[in-house]
Structures are given as structure tokens and as C-alpha cells.
Structure 1
Amino acid sequence: MSFIKLTIKGISYSQTQTGAYALVLSEIGGARTLPIIIGAFEAQSIAIALEKEIRPPRPLTHDLFKTFSERFSINVKEVIIHKLVDGVFFSSLVCEKDGVEEVIDTRTSDAIAIAVRFEAPIYTYKNILDKAGVYLKIEEEFGLSNTDMREENTSDTKELETFEEENKFSNLSITSLNEHLNKAVSDENYELAARIRDEISKRS
């Protein structure tokens, strides 16, 4: 069976499962996407790895895995989403040490969090994408950019709070924004850090 290479299109709060996120993968050179429901911790871990400017004060579990692997000269070559059963995706890490390859079963969310850190490619089989892939205009359906991870606001109060917070940031200097960014990272408030980073990026 032929492989299809995937890339991370974005992460959005799931509207169907409370406390879960939708990780959207898209095929390279095609129009189909593969939405996968993942947990909040894994969504945060993937988002942090994508946000190069944000560095947690303490290593996350997937960061620890990368450090451990590098210390013992183990490289993650690729991730393969190889099976779909009852809506659940099964994946494998293809690892290499001293020229010897090993295939390790893993949850798809963990596999992708690790793949991002190793800059390893993500693949799936054509029959899986044919079965589960959907045609979507991602930006319109999810409102995603490549590194988005924003929970959809479900109340007027929360929308007002977000507007006021973003408006507050727009009045701050770059120096003040960087100070707020460092504090947000130190407090491990990565969603706030991402919003501050967006404001800094807009002024670059």
C-alpha cells in the first residue's frame, strides 16, 4: 500500500467532545484532511513544539522523550498512522539506533507530538485517508492557522474578556509584551503566551 505524507494544519477545540481537541492533518499535494480527536495535554504539547518562541520552564513529557532518545543516540525517523478501528487511529514510531530500525506502537497524539520535536515526517496509508479523510476548507471550518490552539468562546462574557485582553496587549510596548510573554511561559500559561506572541508577530 502506498504512503501519503501529511502535515499539521492546525489544532482546534473539539465541538463534539468536551475537553478534547481536533488535530487536523492535511495531505501534502492534495485537498483532503484527517481530523483526529486528541486530549488537552497532547494538544498543548504539540502546540508548544510548533511555537518556536515559547519554551516551557520545565520539560514536558515529550521533551523528556526527545532528550532521552538523543542522549542514547536514538533517532525517530518517521511516524506512520497505520490503522483505523472504530474511529480510533493507531500509529507507530519508526526509530533507528546504530543503523538498526525498530517500530514502536504508540498513540497517534503522542506520535505526532514526538514527530514535531524530531522534525520527522508523518505518513498514513492511502486506504486510511480514503476512508477517514475529508475535504474541507480548514480556515473557514476551524478558523485555524498552522500553529493555532484557541478554544472556541461559547459565551458573550468570555468573548468580552478575550477582546479586552487583546486590546490591552495592543497598547503595550514591545518591551512590555516580552515581559508579559516571559511571565506567561514561566506560569505555564501557554494559551496566553501564544496570544502575546501573535501580538508581537503582528508588529514585526
Structure 2
Amino acid sequence: MNKVQVDILGLSVSPASNGAYALILKESDGVRRLPIVIGGPEAQAIANELEGIKAQRPMTHDLLRSVIEALGGHLREVVINNLKEGTFYASLVFEYTDQEIDSRPSDAIALAVRCGVPIFVSEEIMQEASFKPGDEELPDAAGEEAGEDGDEEEDELSMLKSSGETKEAEPQSASLTHRQRLEQELNQAINVEDYEKAARLRDELQRLTGE
């Protein structure tokens, strides 16, 4: 598996996110960025370690690190290695063994920053779900299924045809205008580093492309 080392660029939250955060990963030797939506507790666990904030009592990821060390284990790296239906998957990779332990990316990264080990993302996922600042052309949607929206649009077009109205050009024109507006909003979100909003806009653009 080809993989790319990434660094944590930051965490972003939106009032409309219902407590979810966007964790932004940036490839170490490039400009591509990968947003992953994670929960509030996991975001706090990552942020606390990055900012050097120590809890009075061990938190979950601190405890896990202590258990690994007490048992003589050595975490070598964490890898975000799969993307299914919009959900990312990761693995913990240990030294001196071929064993890999399945993990949520948020937990894997929270552990990685505590153990001081590198974070990797498969090249396939980077090609599928990452973006570059200022990009107008986005990769194909990862795990998106455009069937339902596409079927609705096709049904509307069929009804127009059956009623004697031929307005095929109008939905296409409206779609282009909508796409241009979304692209502008995406670039603005990236410029102000609102990556959680950028991820949503990227997904909506990808759905339009799929239709």
C-alpha cells in the first residue's frame, strides 16, 4: 500500500456542526489536505496533547498509552487505510509484529500524538478525498451515492417531457450556476481556514458532478 505521511494542520468547528469537529491533515511533503469529521471528546483529546494540557487523572488515550508501554508494546505508526461510504478507517501498527489493530482515525491520531509516532494516509484515500487550497476541480466523491438525487432529477425531467415542455437546458444551466457559487464559497472557506465548511461544500460539489 502506498501511503503518505501527514501532519495535523488544525481543528475547525462550526455552530451548525452539532458538536462535531473537522480534523485537518496536511501531507508532510505537499499541499494536499484531508478533512475528517470527528467527535468533540476526541477533538479535545487531540487538542489537549498538542497544547500540552495535562489532566489531573489519566484520560482514555493516556491510559491506553500506559497500558501499551506496560505490556512492552511499541506503537510504530498509525495509518488511515480505508474509506467506505464516507467513513474513514485506521489501523494501529506495532513494532516487532505484523499485527495491526483496527481503530477509528480520531482514536488512532489521539494515541499517535501521545506516543510521538507518525501518521500516514493511503495514497488512494488522498487521491479520492483530499483537496488543495484554491482547487476548483475536486476529486470524485468518496462513498457518495448520487443515485437518489439523480433519480429525482430524472423523474422531474420525464414529467416535463410528458407534459410537452422541453426544458432540458434549464436544469443544466441552473446546475452550472449553483456549482460556480459553491466553488466560490469553497475557496472562501479554505482561505479563512474553515475546513469543516469546506468539507461540506466539497461533498456537495462532488454530488453535483456525480449527477
Range into which the TM-score falls when normalised by the shorter chain: 0.5 to 0.7
Deviations 1:30-62 (A, max 9, x none): 11100000000000000011112x211111100
Match of 2:68 in 1: 69
TM-score by length of 2: 0.62
Match of 1:46 in 2: 46
Over the aligned positions, Cα root-mean-square deviation in angstroms equals 1.9
Residues 1:122 and 2:123 aligned together: no
Larger radius of gyration: 2
Q: Quote the Cα distance in structure 1 between the aligned partners of 2:131 and 2:15.
A: 17
SS at match of 1:64: helix
Q: Quote the Cα distance in structure 1 between the aligned partners of 2:99 and 2:40.
A: 29
- Code of the residue aligned with 2:32 in structure 1: it is R
Higher relative contact order (CA 8 A, sep 6+): 1
The alignment covers a number of residue pairs equal to: 141
- Code of the residue aligned with 1:68 in structure 2: it is V
Match of 1:108 in 2: 105
Q: Quote the Cα distance in structure 1 between the aligned partners of 2:118 and 2:46.
A: 14
What are structure 2's unaligned runs of at least 5 residues? 135-188, 196-211
Q: Offset at 1:80?
A: 0.7
Map 1:1-204 onto structure 2 (within 5 A). 1-14=1-14, 17-52=17-52, 54-96=53-95, 99-136=96-133, 140-142=191-193
TM-score by length of 1: 0.65
SS at match of 2:17: coil
Kept in 2: contact 1:14–1:37 (CA 8 A): no
**Structure with greater strand percent:** 1
